[in-house]
């Protein structure tokens, strides 16, 4: 029984297989022919794998910037080391995390079937990481066994039901349809950016309508634009910290200009691959999901990973990343100099790109180019404050994880759930 349980957990944690099964089920319910079923299922899986590899390439191309910004602003890189640690939480409480994950997903299906909230959360790896966070909060509050499972299950279910629903109108404004919504920890940052964008009532031009002279028409290609942009970001950081220090900071023997150029090209390649995977996966999963919507849970839509939105605002993603990197690093410097937090926060390049990149698309939808810039700037500040309130909550368990991947819904919901747990405790 335990082996079957672990097998199911591994399937859900693997986005490609999980979404492939969803596509397979949908196509079977639509009674498609054998060839269409095999093709749709395979293309969904391959599309998700391509998307994931693109994400990995993007992550590897921007991670060195964290070290660069640390040197640039003389930020101490001392690590937060909680008493237990995130690895121990995963190893020691894997069963509790797995049960909470499955229970929350079942609750989500029941809510979608019998209430007006009609979405199913299908971002598999996030279905794991949220119960991981809530189990950590429960351990911090001395919850054990059944009460820990119930606590993590209910909060995970609440998150995957509430958060995507909050973003639904903003996503529709961007995409123009209800084909899908976003199931990703960008919600709080995207809501803030979207509301800031609304302040620009005269929306103006979109970030995607930036005019280029005929001689620079090639810049309309996002792979080229993103490569050039990241190249210049690296060059600026190198110039400020000094080329000799840069080589040491980035851990490379390459000429630093060549290194910067290759990091830029790597970024452009990763974004191109990611967008290819998104388009391939969407082309299959949306039609296939109609089978589930028509036959099992009427009128439902899938809540999917944030990069699904990238084709609707590739320029906005870059704007969100660059603007939030600078505003967040400045915020780190200010909070460090004033002693607001008793611990060190390092730049969150991954959150800046994926969460705030998505938030910039939302802000562009509500306020155009100016909304995207302003929304990203505010989100960059809020991101650091969210890390600041969540590290003390997870100080004994997963603070080492939240300081790298937080500053988003993980941070906000760990804070909220801790307050609830402390009341009942």
Q: What confidence tens digit (pLDDT) does each residue in 137-174 have?
A: 999 999 988 999 999 999 999 999 999 999 999 999 99
Taking the CB of residue 146, how many other CB atoms lie within 10 A of it?
A: 10
Dist. CA 75–CA 342, nearest whole Å:
14
Helix, strand, coil shares of the chain, percent, nearest 5, are 75, 0, 20
Q: Is the pLDDT of residue 212 over 80?
A: no
DSSP string, 96-146: HHHHHHHHHHHHHHHHHHHSS--EEE--HHHHHHHHHHHHHHHHHTT--HH
DSSP string, 285-296: HHHHHHHHHHHT
Range of the structural domain that residue 257 is part of: 2-424
Q: Is the pLDDT of residue 344 over 80?
A: no
Report the candidate in 143, 154, 155, 157 with the shortest Cα–Cα distance to residue 93: 143
Nearest-5° Cα angle at 59, 85 to 216: 160
Q: What confidence tens digit (pLDDT) does each residue in 359-383 have?
A: 999 999 999 999 999 999 999 999 9
142 φ/ψ sector (left φ>0, alpha ψ -120 to 50, else beta): left
pLDDT of res. 200: 87
Number of domains in the chain: 1
CA distances to 138, 148, 164, 416, 425 from 420, in Å:
10, 13, 21, 7, 9
Nearest-5° Cα angle at 121, 116 to 126: 145
């Amino acid at each position: 029984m335990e082996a079957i349980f672990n097998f199911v957990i591994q399937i859900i944690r693997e986005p490609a297989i999980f979404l492939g099964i969803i596509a397979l089920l949908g196509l079977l319910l639509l009674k498609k022919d054998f060839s269409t079923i095999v093709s749709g299922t395979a293309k969904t899986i391959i599309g998700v794998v391509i998307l994931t590899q693109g994400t990995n390439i993007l992550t590897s191309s921007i991670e060195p910037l964290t070290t660069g910004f640390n040197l640039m602003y003389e930020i101490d890189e001392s690590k937060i080391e909680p008493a237990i640690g995130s690895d121990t939480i995963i190893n020691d409480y894997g069963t509790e995390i797995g049960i909470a994950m499955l229970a929350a997903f079942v609750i989500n299906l029941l809510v979608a079937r019998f209430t007006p909230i009609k979405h199913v959360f299908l971002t598999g790896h996030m279905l794991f990481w949220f119960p991981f966070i809530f189990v950590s909060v429960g351990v911090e509050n001395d919850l054990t066994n059944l009460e820990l499972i119930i606590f993590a299950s209910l909060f995970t279910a609440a998150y995957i039901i509430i958060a995507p629903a909050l973003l639904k109108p903003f996503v529709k404004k961007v995409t123009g349809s209800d084909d899908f919504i976003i199931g990703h920890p960008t919600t709080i940052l995207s809501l803030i950016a979207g509301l800031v964008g609304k302040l620009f009532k005269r929306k103006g031009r979109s970030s995607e309508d930036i005019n280029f002279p005929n001689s620079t028409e090639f810049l309309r290609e996002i792979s080229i634009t993103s490569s050039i942009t990241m190249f210049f970001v690296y060059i600026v950081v190198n110039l400020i910290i000094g080329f000799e220090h840069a080589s040491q900071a980035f851990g490379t023997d390459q000429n630093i200009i060549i290194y910067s150029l290759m990091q830029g090209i790597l970024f452009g390649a990763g974004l191109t691959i990611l967008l290819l995977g998104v388009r391939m996966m969407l082309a299959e999963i949306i039609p296939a999901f109609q089978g589930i919507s028509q036959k099992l849970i009427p009128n439902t839509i899938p809540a999917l990973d944030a990069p699904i939105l990238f084709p609707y605002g590739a320029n906005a993603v870059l704007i969100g990343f660059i603007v939030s990197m600078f505003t967040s690093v400045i915020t780190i410097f200010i909070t460090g100099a004033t002693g607001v937090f008793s611990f060190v926060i390092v730049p969150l390049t991954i959150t800046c790109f994926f969460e705030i990149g998505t938030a910039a698309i939302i802000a562009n939808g509500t306020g155009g180019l100016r909304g995207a810039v302003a929304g990203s700037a505010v989100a960059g500040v809020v991101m650091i404050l969210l890390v600041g309130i969540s590290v003390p909550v997870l100080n004994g368990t997963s603070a080492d994880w939240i300081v790298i991947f937080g500053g988003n819904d993980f941070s906000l919901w760990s804070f909220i759930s801790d307050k609830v747990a402390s009341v009942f405790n």
